[in-house]
Amino acid sequence: MPSSASTPSAPTSPDAPAGSPAVPPLPDAAGRTPLVAVLAGGLSHERDVSLRSGRRVAEALRSTGLEVVLHDVDADLLTFLRETGPDVVWPLLHGASGEDGSVRDVLDMVGLPYVGSGPRASRVVWNKPISKAALLDAGLATPDYVTLPQSLFRDLGAQPVLDTIVRHLGLPLVVKPTEGGSALGVTIVSRAEDLPRAMVECFAYGETALIERAITGVELAISVIDGPRGPEALPAVEIVADGGYDYAARYVAGETEFFAPARLTADQAAQVSDAAVRAHEALHLRHLSRTDLILDASGTAHILEVNVAPGMTEMSLLPQAVAASGRDLAPLYRTIVDTALARAR
């Protein structure tokens, strides 16, 4: 059963400023208000973030007059979908199964339209080395990297391999799991002797590590939304985190300073927007995405990763970008849902 019922009236969302008119519901052929199932939670390491994202999006969509049920994904997902019969699903699951395309595969199989990219594109984006290869193929820049499983260090001996990595990529390095988000398991390594510890921390989150050259520059997040004329980049958000943009810096208010729009020249802004839109297109993404990149002193935009299920919490970057664009969140989310519904019809 749905974990919460909808309240179609009362635009109570803080995302919807008082006085802003709710978008009228888009009724289906039978004149029924569409029902949106927001999927959040689950069992991934990012469950907490996902629940926060899910609650925010559900609240915003309700304020536009849609019927919304928020569901914490578990073994009853298919029963829930069958019994609830949503018109459209918004998978806001972060981490495994939510972003790796598998839940989207299930939604395809049961014939339910959903917000966001399809399973194949999601699977490519979820795996950072594969998506980096696709970005390089599209002529986009991404930091030099190697991808190595834990078993390789066991088979070849850790130290010789680590020494080779340092010789090949230099220092500093960024060590991260090939899959996952919210900077979990990510370490910036400035000294070779710290690399083994970083590897151990990384492998606590997954079997394979991505080790890439750390890039110095302006850290930016560019959200892309599919509009009537194709993918459209929202204003870049600049991230200034004193101790690195780690988990606490992402989700504890006050820890990080954001500049939205980013402090970029018009040319720089156009350049990073173009990179994000090209990444969105090259990876065949749908409805929305967020590209994280670093603009270095030479003017190169190095794409770190792309997200198919960007965070939607109070602290997240996409909502900040929407605000910077002068738009309200709730109507924008509503437009995304309507796009997904229209595609299904």
Partner 1 sequence: MNELPETAGNRLDPWFGSYAARAHGMRASEIRALFSVANRPEVVSLAGGMPYLEGLPLDVIAETMQRLIITKGTTALQYGSGQGEESLREHITQVVALEGVSAHPDDVVVTTGSQSALDLVTRIFVDPGDVVIAEAPSYVGALGVFRSYQADVVQVPLDTDGLVPAELDAALTRLAAAGRRVKFVYTVPTFQNPAGVSLSAERRPQVLEICRRHGVLVVEDNPYGLLGFDEEPMPALRSYDTDGVLYLGSFSKTFAPGYRVGFVIAPHAVRDKLVLASESAVLSPSNASQLAVATYLETCDWKAQIKAYRELYRERRDALVGALGEHLPSASWNVPKGGFFVWVRLPDGLDARAMLPRAVTARVAYVPGTAFYYDGSGSDHMRLSFCFPTPERIREGVRRLAGVVNGESELVQIFGTSAQPDPDTDDVEGPAPDLA
From 105, 232, 281, 314, residue interacting with partner 1 (rule: CB under 8 A): 314
- φ/ψ of 290, rounded to 5, equals -135, 130
Active site (annotated) includes residue 292: yes
User: Which residue's CB is nearer to partner 1, number 226 or number 292?
Assistant: 292
Residue labelled with tokens 């969105």: 280
First to last CA, the chain: 26
Q: Contact region for partner 1 (CB under 8 A) — 2-10, 27-35, 121-129, 262-270?
A: 262-270
From 19, 167, 267, 326, residue interacting with partner 1 (rule: CB under 8 A): 267
DSSP class of residue 4? S
- φ/ψ of 237, rounded to 5, equals -110, 130
From 1, 10, 74, 79, residue interacting with partner 1 (rule: CB under 8 A): 74
Residue among 15, 46, 67, 238 flagged as catalytic: 46
Rounded Cα–Cα distance for residues 339 and 326 (Å): 21
- Joined together, the tokens standing for residue 115 give 């917000």
Residue 262 in contact with partner 1, rule: CB under 8 A: yes
The minimum distance between CB 60 and partner 1, in angstroms, equals 17
Residue 149 in contact with partner 1, rule: CB under 8 A: no
Instruction: Give yes or no for a contact between 278 and 285, defined as CB atoms under 8 angstroms apart.
Output: no
Residue 311 in contact with partner 1, rule: CB under 8 A: no
User: Which residue's CB is nearer to partner 1, number 233 or number 337?
Assistant: 233
- Joined together, the tokens standing for residue 332 give 């924008």
Q: Could you give the string, one character per residue 95-134, with x where binding to partner 1 holds by CB under 8 A and - elsewhere?
A: ----------------------------------------
From 254, 297, 298, 326, residue interacting with partner 1 (rule: CB under 8 A): 254
Residue labelled with tokens 């390095």: 173
Residue 184 in contact with partner 1, rule: CB under 8 A: yes
* List of residues 6+ apart from 154 with CB closer than 8 A: none
Instruction: Give yes or no for a contact between 339 and 286, defined as CB atoms under 8 angstroms apart.
Output: no
Rounded Cα–Cα distance for residues 162 and 139 (Å): 29
Residue 264 in contact with partner 1, rule: CB under 8 A: yes
Rounded Cα–Cα distance for residues 104 and 89 (Å): 10
Residue among 56, 62, 278, 290 flagged as catalytic: 290
From 23, 49, 88, 332, residue interacting with partner 1 (rule: CB under 8 A): 49
- Joined together, the tokens standing for residue 196 give 């083994």
Active site (annotated) includes residue 28: no
Alpha helices, DSSP H only, in 85-157?
102-109, 119-126, 128-137, 150-156
The minimum distance between CB 83 and partner 1, in angstroms, equals 19
Binding site for partner 1 (CB under 8 A): 43-49, 51, 74-75, 150, 153-154, 158-159, 182, 184-185, 187, 194, 196-201, 203-205, 238, 240, 243, 246-248, 251-267, 314-315, 320
Catalytic residue ranges:
46, 182, 251, 290, 292, 305, 307, 311
